[in-house]
Structure 1
Amino acid sequence: MDKLLGGFMLAIVAFLTVGCDKQGKPIQEFGLDKLEKGVSSESDVRMVMGQPETVWEDDDGGRELQYPKGPEGVRTWEFIIDKHGKLKDYRQLLTEETFGRIKTGMTKDTVRRMLGKPRTVQQYKLKNEEAWDWRYLTGTTERFFNVHFDMTTGRVTGTSSSDASNY
């Protein structure tokens, strides 16, 4: 019985460590465990993640590489490369914290840079509104985050969210 329990515990530990990064945190995207902040190069990021959907050039010579995993995915990754070509940081953009920073009056470009490429863009001409959405996770529930723009000014008029299981 002790051997059986010991083997079972070893299997659980092996299972849990396979799905963790170097800091012991669960891996959210395969390949991230191969990248190290301050050490990995932009070339290393591209070898692991592939071609970015969008590259933003910063005034200081750095770059931000964005990798949306939509339209059915629930993550958009952003990798920040410093002016020396090294990986400074990476983050998942589709979070409640980021959504909370979207404010009325922001431009489409500002929202696009903050959240990455939207899953869909819909125009509602009678309302003079354009709505962008992103699929994301809150806990284990898939939801949509929506940003509403005035079609004339291209500025944010509001945000909303909805349960993705209704679609």
Structure 2
Amino acid sequence: MKRFLAGLSGFLCSLLMFGCNQGRPIDDYGIEKLTRGVSTEADVRQAMGEPETVWNDEGGARTFEYPKGPEGHKTWMVALDASGIVRDWRQVLTEETFATVQVGMTREEVRRALGKPRSTVTYELKNEEVWDWRYYAGGNTERFFNVHFDRDSGKVVRTSHSDPVTG
């Protein structure tokens, strides 16, 4: 019985260590395997999987989108140069990125900035379509960032933040 418990204890410890990186939980398994200026497109796909969307940028560069939703709180954008080498990556579900969303932007511009929304809801009486993204504000406070589009023009009319409903 002691052998069994010792083996089980070792197994559980190894599982816990598998999910940690230098004492921190790994939220985004794969991103830590990439090196700016060195990693290739193949390295990105091996580490992160297939991107949700591939955005074509100027001069043959591309950006891979990796949303971790709908329950996740991060969306990674990995920028590749024209030769397929990683230039940079960033997590876009931040207050700084949300501040770039302005009245008059199109759905495509918002999608390009924030990635795939967690959900889309239509409000017929307001003639609005609202997209939202789950994120962490100030560390561990879960919030939602909402973008309200006019359904006819497809352009942003306002943005808002909301807290999750708790029961």
Among the aligned pairs, what percent are the same residue?
55
Partner residue, 1:141:
141
Taking the TM superposition and a 5 Å limit, the aligned residue runs for 1:21-40 are: 28-40=27-39
- Secondary structure of residue in 2 paired with 1:110: helix
Partner residue, 1:150:
150
Taking the TM superposition and a 5 Å limit, the aligned residue runs for 1:35-74 are: 35-74=34-73
Taking the TM superposition and a 5 Å limit, the aligned residue runs for 1:56-135 are: 56-135=55-134
Contact 1:143 1:165 in 2 (8 A): no
- Secondary structure of residue in 2 paired with 1:38: coil
Give 1:108 shift: 0.4
One-letter amino acid matched to 2:123 = Y
Between the aligned partners of 1:47 and 1:100, the Cα distance in structure 2 is 32
- Secondary structure of residue in 2 paired with 1:152: coil
Give unmatched runs, 5+ long, in structure 2. 1-16
Contact 1:150 1:157 in 2 (8 A): yes
Between the aligned partners of 2:77 and 2:165, the Cα distance in structure 1 is 26
Does 1:166 pair with 2:166?
yes
Give 1:133 shift: 0.2
RMSD between aligned residues: 1.8
TM-score w.r.t. the length of structure 1 is 0.83
Between the aligned partners of 1:31 and 1:151, the Cα distance in structure 2 is 37
Q: Deviations over 1:8-63 (max 9, x none)?
A: xxxxxxx8xx524xxxx985422222110000001100000001000001121000
- Secondary structure of residue in 2 paired with 1:60: helix
- Secondary structure of residue in 1 paired with 2:59: coil
- Secondary structure of residue in 2 paired with 1:112: helix
Between the aligned partners of 1:107 and 1:42, the Cα distance in structure 2 is 29
Between the aligned partners of 1:54 and 1:127, the Cα distance in structure 2 is 30
One-letter amino acid matched to 1:19 = N
- Secondary structure of residue in 2 paired with 1:126: coil
Give unmatched runs, 5+ long, in structure 1. 1-14
Contact 1:81 1:88 in 2 (8 A): yes
Does 1:19 pair with 2:14?
no
Partner residue, 1:6:
none
Between the aligned partners of 1:114 and 1:34, the Cα distance in structure 2 is 24
